Amino acid sequence: MAKDVLIFAEQREGKFRHASFEAVSEGKRCAQKVGTNAIALVVGKDISESAKELGKYGADRIIAADSEIFASYNSESYARAVVNAVKVIAPQILILTASSMGRDLAPNVGAKLEVPVASDCIKLDIIDGKLQALRPVYAGKVRIRVAFAKEPNIVTLRPKLFEATEVAGHNVQVEKLQPAIEPQDLKATLKEVVKSVGAKLDLTEADIIVSGGRGMKAAENFKVIEELAQVVGGVVGASRAAVDAGWRPHHDQVGQTGKTVSPTLYIACGISGAIQHLAGMSSSKCIVAINRDPDAPIFQVADYGIVGDLFEVVPTLAQELKKAISR
C-alpha cells in the first residue's frame, strides 16, 4: 500500500509564505502519481485557523502542531514536531522549502531520522512509484538526478520554481498534533527577534529583482537601482562583492553564500557573473545584464544584455519604463 506525502508548510507570524503553497501543490501532484494523500503539517502558535488555507492548494489533510512552545522558530523544537509527525504518519516523502528555515530544519530532521536529504531540488518525478529529484551541484554547473534508499524521502524545493495551484472547493478540517516536547526539553530558547527597519519582501519570494555588484562603486550609488526596482515593482539584491564592501546588508546577497533566487525577472547591474553569483540566480526565468565589459561572464547566461555604463543605462531604462507603465 502506498504511503502518504507529508509537506511542512512554513509560516511566519501566522502567515504562510508563497513557497509553502508551492510545496503543498507539488506534494499533491506527487501524491496523485503515487495514488495516496497529501498531508500538510503546520507548526506554530495559534495557527489552526489560518492552516485551513492550505486546503486550497490541494492538501487532503492538514495537521497542526499548535502550541506556545512553537511561537517562534527554534530548530530543536520544530525538528521534534516534524519527527513526531513522521512517526505518526509514516510518509514515503517529506517535502520542505529551501528557505532559510527549511535549510536549517531539513538536515536537523534528517539527522534525527537517520535518512539523507536532497536539498534545493528544482524538479520532482515519480518513476515506478518511487521519488526521484533533480538538483544542481558544483555551483549549478551540473545537475544530478537523485533516488532514495531510505524513507521518508526528504527533499527541499527551491522557491519560485514550482507552481502553486489552487483547487476549487477543497475544504479540509485541521487536526491537532501533540507538541511532543516541553519547554524544559529545549537546550536553547529564543528571547527576542530583531527585525530590520523597513523590512522588504524576501528575495526568495520576489518576482522581480534588481541587483548591483562591484560596478556600483559605492553604497550611495545603489540609489539608481533602487529607483529602477521601485519603477518595476521589484526588490534590490547584491553580489557578494558589494556586500563584502559594506554597500549592502548580507540579507540582500544573492549567490552561493547568499540567497538562491528564481524570480520572473532578474536585472544584474555591474555584476561580472562569477560562478558563485550565477549559482544563486541562474534559474531566473528572464535575465537582463547591464555591464560595460562585453566579455563579462554574466552575458553567457543573460537573455538580454546591454553593454554600457550602468550609471547612464539604468536611469534611462527607469525613465523609459516609467513612461511605458504610465500609458
Domains, the chain = 5-185 (3.40.50.620), 203-326 (3.40.50.1220)
Q: What is the pLDDT of residue 104?
A: 95
Q: What is the pLDDT of residue 52?
A: 92
d(CA 158, CA 280): 11
Where in the chain does DSSP place strands (E)? 5-8, 11-12, 15-16, 38-44, 61-66, 93-97, 117-121, 123-127, 130-137, 142-147, 153-157, 174-176, 208-212, 235-238, 265-269, 286-291, 304-307
Q: What is the pLDDT of residue 183?
A: 79
Spell out the residues 6+ positions from residue 309 whose beta carbon is closer than 8 angstroms to its own: 292
Nearest to 60 by CA among 90, 29, 20: 29
Which positions of the chain have pLDDT values less than 70? 1, 169, 196-199
Q: What pTM was estimated for this model as a whole?
A: 0.87
Query: Which pLDDT tens digit goes with each residue over 202-256?
Result: 899 999 999 999 999 999 999 999 999 999 999 999 999 999 999 999 999 999 8
- 301: cell is 547566461
Q: What is the pLDDT of residue 103?
A: 94
Q: What is the pLDDT of residue 199?
A: 56
Identify any residues that bridge with 259 across adjacent strands, giving them in sequence order: 254
Q: What is the pLDDT of residue 179?
A: 83
Nearest to 109 by CA among 157, 176, 155: 155
- 278: cell is 550565477
Q: What is the pLDDT of residue 327?
A: 76
Q: What is the pLDDT of residue 305?
A: 97
Between β-strands 5-8 and 61-66, what pairing exists: parallel, antiparallel or unpaired? unpaired
